């Protein structure tokens, strides 16, 4: 007789355990982040910023890896073991990122940043946007959210938890408009609940001739084995960029494409790193007649299946710029910091408006 209550208790506990994943999926489904196709972003103006008047500009693009993927890190999504760095490591990475950005502020007009956390367990709930704004105190800025998950349950033994992150542009000049453009691409349910809602940012700067300088900050899909999401995003970007150029505007798009630029050859690396290609490649006719700006001598991104080891870790170029035919590429340089602070290295574009 005594065995029955124990049996019932065990049955109830098993039922509850089995229901937990179902309840989690329902909760995340009904509370998931569903952005609008087009959203006007807040422009945080700062003292010292002004209207755009230059024809000669410098843009730095850097995927910060949320200050959590420095050279000592591997990552469980890509075959590693770790979920986030130790607090001391994170503080070192974020401090190094801010120091690097400040060093460039006298020459850089625009910063394109990707994977910047606002409130995430993986970055110890640090508001990285505010931290960067604090050191780039004469730049205005806008932020576009592309990741907002209330709870990432993987890995089961140490869940990644809450994530709020996105892309940002810090500008020496005040744009007259900043816009978040949703790609509308995502994985199937339920996987889409735990991944990014990809977008691109559009910053518009009026010019004296009535045209606009249109700057586009992007971060395209990854963990996309067959490349279908990236190809959809590339088509959307292509149509948008061409439409802006047809208006007579000057167009520069840059960021983390998660694809190699046209003309990339991993054998040209001068630092001895092992180069690799990313499949599928960009279509041969992608942005024909436009300029591709990248530094062929060194990588911008590394694999994070293990800690970084020079000449052993596989690396590639996926961070670059594309410019319209009315923009002249003066130079493009990868700034080599040995992946100390992020799994990406910053790239610097010097361009002139024709």
**pLDDT (0 to 100) of residue 270:** 80
Assess whether 71 and 11 both reside in one domain.
Answer: no
Output 301 or 51, whichever has higher pLDDT.
301
Find the DSSP H helices in the chain.
3-30, 87-103, 128-135, 228-246
What tokens does 128 get? Answer: 């990285």
Lowest mean pLDDT among 90-99, 133-142, 267-276, 303-312: 267-276
**pLDDT (0 to 100) of residue 31:** 67
Residue 3 has pLDDT above 70, yes or no: no
Confidence of residue 6 (pLDDT cuts 50, 70, 90): confident
Confidence of residue 1 (pLDDT cuts 50, 70, 90): very low
Confidence of residue 342 (pLDDT cuts 50, 70, 90): very high
Output 13 or 63, whichever has higher pLDDT.
63
Assess whether 207 and 314 both reside in one domain.
Answer: yes
**pLDDT (0 to 100) of residue 230:** 93
Assess whether 338 and 255 both reside in one domain.
Answer: yes
When pLDDT is averaged across residues 235-258 and rounded to a whole number, the result is 97
The per-residue pLDDT for range 200-214, each reduced to its tens digit, is 999 999 998 889 999
CA distance 26 to 35: 19
pLDDT mean across residues, the chain:
91
**pLDDT (0 to 100) of residue 14:** 66
Write the CA distances from 231 to 154, 260, 272, 323, integer angstroms.
27, 13, 31, 19
Assess whether 236 and 330 both reside in one domain.
Answer: yes
**pLDDT (0 to 100) of residue 328:** 98
Residue 15 has pLDDT above 90, yes or no: no
CA distance 288 to 126: 41
Assess whether 311 and 198 both reside in one domain.
Answer: yes
Write the CA distances from 2 to 13, 14, 15, 152, integer angstroms.
18, 19, 21, 41
CA distance 281 to 234: 11
Residue 261, domain CATH:
3.60.10.10
Assess whether 85 and 130 both reside in one domain.
Answer: yes
**pLDDT (0 to 100) of residue 116:** 98
Domain extent at residue 1: 1-31
**pLDDT (0 to 100) of residue 51:** 73
243 Cβ partners below 8 Å, 6+ apart? none
Output 17 or 92, whichever has higher pLDDT.
92
Assess whether 12 and 148 both reside in one domain.
Answer: no
Q: Which residues pair with 180 in a beta bridge?
A: 39, 201
The number of domains in the chain is 2
Assess whether 25 and 96 both reside in one domain.
Answer: no
Assess whether 56 and 6 both reside in one domain.
Answer: no
When pLDDT is averaged across residues 119-145 and rounded to a whole number, the result is 97
Assess whether 8 and 85 both reside in one domain.
Answer: no
CA distance 25 to 328: 50
Assess whether 26 and 72 both reside in one domain.
Answer: no
Confidence of residue 16 (pLDDT cuts 50, 70, 90): low
When pLDDT is averaged across residues 319-324 and rounded to a whole number, the result is 98
The per-residue pLDDT for range 32-76, each reduced to its tens digit, is 778 899 999 999 987 666 777 678 999 999 999 999 999 999 999
261 Cβ partners below 8 Å, 6+ apart? 282, 292, 294, 317, 320, 322
What tokens does 324 get? Answer: 């319209």
Residue 126 has pLDDT above 80, yes or no: yes
Assess whether 142 and 213 both reside in one domain.
Answer: yes
């Amino acid at each position: 007789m005594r065995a029955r209550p124990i049996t019932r208790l065990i049955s109830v506990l098993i039922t509850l355990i089995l229901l937990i994943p179902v309840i989690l999926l329902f909760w995340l489904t009904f509370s998931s982040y569903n952005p609008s196709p087009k959203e006007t972003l807040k422009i945080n103006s700062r003292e010292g910023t002004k209207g755009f008047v230059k024809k000669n500009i410098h843009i730095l693009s850097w995927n910060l890896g949320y200050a959590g993927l420095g050279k000592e890190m591997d990552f469980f999504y890509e075959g590693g073991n770790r979920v986030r760095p130790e607090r001391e490591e994170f503080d070192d990475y974020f401090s190094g990122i801010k120091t690097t950005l400040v060093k460039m502020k006298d020459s850089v007009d625009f910063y394109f940043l990707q994977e910047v956390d606002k409130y995430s367990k993986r970055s110890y709930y640090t508001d990285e946007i505010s931290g960067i704004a604090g050191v780039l105190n004469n730049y205005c800025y806008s932020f576009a959210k592309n990741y907002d998950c209330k709870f990432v349950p993987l890995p089961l033994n140490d869940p990644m938890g809450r994530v709020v992150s996105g892309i940002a542009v810090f500008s020496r000049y005040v744009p007259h408009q900043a816009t978040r453009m949703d790609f509308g691409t995502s994985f199937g349910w339920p996987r889409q609940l735990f991944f990014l809602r990809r977008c691109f940012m559009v910053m518009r700067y009026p010019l004296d001739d009535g045209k606009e300088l249109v700057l586009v900050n992007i971060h395209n899909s990854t963990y996309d084995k067959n490349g279908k999401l990236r190809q959809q995003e590339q088509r959307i970007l292509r149509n948008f960029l061409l439409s802006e150029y047809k208006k007579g505007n000057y167009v520069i798009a840059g960021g983390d494409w998660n694809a190699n630029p046209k003309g990339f050859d991993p054998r040209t690396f001068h630092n001895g790193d092992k180069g690799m290609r990313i499949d599928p490649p960009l279509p041969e006719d992608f942005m024909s007649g436009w300029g591709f700006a990248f530094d062929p001598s060194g990588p911008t991104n590394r694999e994070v299946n293990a800690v970084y080891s020079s000449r052993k870790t596989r690396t590639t170029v996926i961070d670059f710029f594309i410019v319209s035919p009315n923009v002249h590429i003066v130079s493009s340089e990868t700034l080599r910091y040995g992946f100390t602070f992020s799994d990406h290295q910053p790239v610097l574009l010097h361009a002139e408006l024709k």
